[in-house]
Structure 1
Amino acid sequence: MTGRVRPVQILVVLAFVNMISYAARNALFAVYPDLVERYHIGDSELGLLQTLFMIPHAAATLGFGWAGDRYDRRRVIAFGLGLASVSAVIGVVGESYVGLAVSRALVGFGTAAVVPVANSILGQIFDGPKKASRMAIFNLGLFVGGVVGFGAGAALGFPVVVIALALPGIALSLLMLGLRIPAHAAQPAQAIVVTGTSARAPGFAAAVAGFLADASVLLRIRTLRWLIASTTVMAFSAGGYNAWLKEFLVREKGMSDAEATSLLALALCGGLSGILVGGRISDWLSTKSSAGRLWTIVIGMTLTAPCATAAIMMPAGVALKVIGVATLFFISWYHAPMAATVDDLAPPRLTVAAQGLVIFTMHMIGTAPSSWVIGAISEQTGSIATALWVPTVGLILAAICMGMATRTFARDRGAARGDSL
């Protein structure tokens, strides 16, 4: 890309893209009663909507990761966000649950372009000791999007909320096309064209072979394998909480919809603080230990587990609000250090592919089944509280796996910096 690159401008635009992406993902969580009334569905079908969103979302991160290492990264994000926004509107026009489900799958597919490609761009322009702190600002979009999605859903209802969030998504996809970003590290070797006529795409067989070769290189990195195991379990836990917390507060704690939404918004503010604090702590710990960013995640998950336990057990009241904020504060520590660590472990030519691989496993194995599993357990036991013990135990397992990743991080980072794999 020719012309001056403005890192702060890139960060701000990508943060807004991430916010709209997550708002579109979370908006339906606040309108479950509307969906039940309109489509005559139960808990399993509600949970299935998120699963149908996450499966193509997870699968597409691999393809978008591969494309982001070879083609104009702006266009990859713009295509994905534009597709998601248009599909969202089309899906709510009719009265069919199947139509809504297909729409959610396409929204999931399109939004998969955002995080792996954006993390690669930000890791490149902010490489250094403050990488995680800068990437934390991008990850604020996750929780700001959560607040916007929940709030818009509660205020506008279904289907208006879907349309309202799709419009800025279309605008941002167009804005991405004109954003100046640095060329990818692989650009000279891959002859990627970012202006003018695009380079000819490789044949399908060659693309698949290249994709598998990239994945093989990345999966030989031991630290990355432990990180994938940990973040996958974390994603299951976070996905289960995210999908069912509002219904948990209404059914189990006796709150009104307005009270539950207010508490979730307050807790999400704790999540926002947690992302920023986690980024700062991880950058500070990385000056004390080569694996400091990974230890930040271990500490965050370990502190989250007792907070989540208390939230399940205690009655509604001020104490529940405090512990709810604490739960989302600590669980949010992992976002920025995880993205920065993946960038540190990947050979420079495979930075987007590495982000895509991690996000794929997180969402395909972790997030995708979580809402359905929690919903199914809730139906069988008659209690969402009972179902939420499953993701709570998962937090401890995630901390253990991440602790294992710290043992080989220094060696694997050194190998990646030399691209010697």
Structure 2
Amino acid sequence: MRKNVTVALLLATFLAAIEGTVVSVATPVIASELNGATLVSWVFAAFLLFTAVSTPIYGKVADLFGRKRVLLFGIGLFTVSSLLCGLATSMEQLIVFRALQGLGAGAVLPISMTIIGDLYKYEERGKIQGILSAVWGVSGVLGPVIGGFLVETLSWRYVFLLNVPFALLSFIMIIVFYKETVAETSERIDLKGALLFAGGTTAFLYALITFSETNEWTTTIVGSGVLSLVLLGGFFLSERRATSPLLPFDLLKQSTIAAINGSVFFAAWVLVSMSAYIPIWAQAVLGKTATEAGFMLMPLSVAWTFTSIIGGRTLGVASPRRRALVGMGLLVIGTFTLTLLSQSSSDFWVYGAVALIGVGFGLSQPMFIVVLQTVVSYQQRGTATATNSFLSTVGQTLGVAVFGAVFNFVVLNDFKESSALSQVSLEDFFNQSVTETLSASVRLQGEQIIATGLNSIFIGAMIAAVIAFIIATRLPARPPEPSQRS
């Protein structure tokens, strides 16, 4: 039974994880066919936003009423919305269906990790969580390849439709093989807290995502920010009075859990700086094609995958603190290397730095989840795992907004102040055929400015890595003692 359930969980996780990378390849064709170039960013933002908002709610519901129901609901919603995405006839429809996909993914990813924690003991979790973490690395490698093949040979619609049969297989396997006994409980989900949390988080992430695109304090952004403060403030007060809070603050304040969540949150900033800005460095500074730029990120996925598998199998060799410090230390070294890059730097410096960061994530991420699930009880495991996933998503979203604002401020201001570049747009340097039409002096000056802006991003990523390293020193030196029913 356990083996079959694990296969089903890995399959469901792979489908949800690969969704981001496989769709990215298809977006230019989608925008062209559906006449929605101005809405492209919301194809990703809608998925990210609704995944983040729903994750903690699913975690709490799974703790109260069982994992199986929540996971089946998530896979079912993900399957139906994937089908709808493949049948969308307008960009607006696609964005709505992507939001529904995000709602499904919000259940699939954390609840799968929670069930792994239920099925395996501490010594075994490392191996399985390592494989589960490696699924993300594999999706990063295969996503662009599969997406490109489907777009070129069939249609962009198959990028979404391909999910359906495999998701149904996972759904059926979980129904058949996963046997769960759910204890009766008089507790009820804190509906008021859930609504306040969902509304406040949605407003907060909407303001962040919109600001990262416009870099302007519009009325809509300010209003969303104020609304988020009001709703999240109400959520905090509601949680303190609730008999069954959505996010138990006493749980989150435990030193080990707080250290893990803090490290994961700031490490997410490092991750998003790689995925968003390494391709820009490759294309705008080094003059690479889009395909070549994608290959520069491959060491991150490959190193993460292999290190997760090896690290998971050797979980008992080193203490949680030592393993976390090595992992976060590699993030610091990798980001520091990136801050030293210049236009004349060899490609191998980028590959080496990205690979170091991949090893750092592979060493730390599975261990974080295993320790987190060990120090909490069965009744709190879903909430703790989902909250950790939520903080990772918010960390990436906040990183995108802050880094995007810094990059735009540095680069766009320098472009405006340069007489040679005043009539040239930043986007011209992202298109190799357009860049080649510019004079050598204009091209060199533009590349230097973009390199300066990207170096600012990498400095910010290094600061985030240092903070994650410092927080990781709070982890226990010895493997944790299992909590009740752990």
Match of 1:143 among 109, 112, 137: 137
Partner of 1:301: 331
Q: For 1:140-289, what aligned pairs fall within 5 Å after superposition?
A: 140-157=134-151, 158-181=156-179, 183=181, 187-188=182-183, 190=185, 204=191, 209=242, 211-212=244-245, 215-265=248-298, 267-280=300-313, 282-286=315-319
Partners of 2:72 and 2:455 lie apart in 1 by 36
Contact 1:244–1:371 under 8 Å retained in 2? no
Contact 1:278–1:296 under 8 Å retained in 2? no
CA-based RMSD: 3.5
Contact 1:69–1:350 under 8 Å retained in 2? yes
Identify if the C-alpha distance between structure 1 residues 247 and 77 changes in structure 2 by more than 3 Å, giving closer, same or farther. Answer: farther
How many residues in Structure 1 have an aligned counterpart in Structure 2? 396
**Per-residue Cα deviation, 1:117-151 (whole angstroms, up to 9, x for no partner):** 12222123222334323210111111122223221
Contact 1:77–1:114 under 8 Å retained in 2? yes
Counterpart amino acid of 2:127?
Answer: S
Partner of 2:212: none
Structure 1, 59-68 or 160-169: larger mean CA deviation = 160-169
Match of 2:11 among 11, 16, 21: 16
Match of 2:120 among 102, 126, 130: 126
Q: Does residue 1:97 correspond to 2:91, yes or no?
A: yes
Identify if the C-alpha distance between structure 1 residues 299 and 240 changes in structure 2 by more than 3 Å, giving closer, same or farther. Answer: closer
Structure 1, 384-393 or 50-59: larger mean CA deviation = 384-393
Q: Secondary structure at the match of 1:69?
A: helix
Q: Secondary structure at the match of 1:291?
A: helix
Partners of 1:212 and 1:78 lie apart in 2 by 24
Q: Secondary structure at the match of 1:112?
A: helix
Counterpart amino acid of 2:397?
Answer: A
Contact 2:77–2:101 under 8 Å retained in 1? yes
Partner of 1:366: 395
Note the C-alpha offset of 1:386.
2.4
Larger radius of gyration: 2
Partner of 1:407: 474
Contact 2:54–2:106 under 8 Å retained in 1? yes
Q: Secondary structure at the match of 1:284?
A: coil
Identify if the C-alpha distance between structure 1 residues 146 and 344 changes in structure 2 by more than 3 Å, giving closer, same or farther. Answer: same
Note the C-alpha offset of 1:354.
0.4
Structure 1, 315-324 or 225-234: larger mean CA deviation = 315-324
Partner of 1:27: 22
Contact 2:335–2:462 under 8 Å retained in 1? yes
Partner of 1:390: 457
Partner of 1:343: 373
Contact 1:231–1:362 under 8 Å retained in 2? yes
Note the C-alpha offset of 1:257.
3.0
Q: Does residue 1:352 correspond to 2:376, yes or no?
A: no
Partners of 2:390 and 2:144 lie apart in 1 by 25
Identify if the C-alpha distance between structure 1 residues 388 and 201 changes in structure 2 by more than 3 Å, giving closer, same or farther. Answer: farther
Note the C-alpha offset of 1:281.
5.3
**Per-residue Cα deviation, 1:372-401 (whole angstroms, up to 9, x for no partner):** 555555555244872474365335434434
Partners of 2:376 and 2:67 lie apart in 1 by 17
User: Structure 2 unaligned runs (5+)?
Assistant: 195-238, 412-425, 427-449
Identify if the C-alpha distance between structure 1 residues 40 and 253 changes in structure 2 by more than 3 Å, giving closer, same or farther. Answer: farther
Partners of 1:404 and 1:317 lie apart in 2 by 32
Contact 1:51–1:369 under 8 Å retained in 2? no
Partners of 1:234 and 1:312 lie apart in 2 by 24
Identify if the C-alpha distance between structure 1 residues 375 and 220 changes in structure 2 by more than 3 Å, giving closer, same or farther. Answer: closer
**Per-residue Cα deviation, 1:346-387 (whole angstroms, up to 9, x for no partner):** 233201110011111221x21234445555555552448724
Counterpart amino acid of 1:178?
Answer: V
Partners of 1:388 and 1:317 lie apart in 2 by 16
Normalising by the residue count of structure 1, what TM-score does the alignment of the two structures yield? Answer: 0.80
Contact 1:229–1:398 under 8 Å retained in 2? no
Structure 1, 15-24 or 97-106: larger mean CA deviation = 97-106
Partners of 2:68 and 2:11 lie apart in 1 by 14
Partners of 2:80 and 2:385 lie apart in 1 by 26
Contact 1:215–1:357 under 8 Å retained in 2? no
Identify if the C-alpha distance between structure 1 residues 410 and 243 changes in structure 2 by more than 3 Å, giving closer, same or farther. Answer: same
Note the C-alpha offset of 1:228.
1.8
Identify if the C-alpha distance between structure 1 residues 190 and 413 changes in structure 2 by more than 3 Å, giving closer, same or farther. Answer: farther
Counterpart amino acid of 1:272?
Answer: T
Q: Percent identity?
A: 18
Partners of 2:327 and 2:250 lie apart in 1 by 25
Partner of 1:50: 44
Name which structure has the greater RCO, CA cutoff 8 Å, separation 6+: 1
Q: Secondary structure at the match of 1:178?
A: helix
Counterpart amino acid of 2:20?
Answer: R
Note the C-alpha offset of 1:87.
1.4
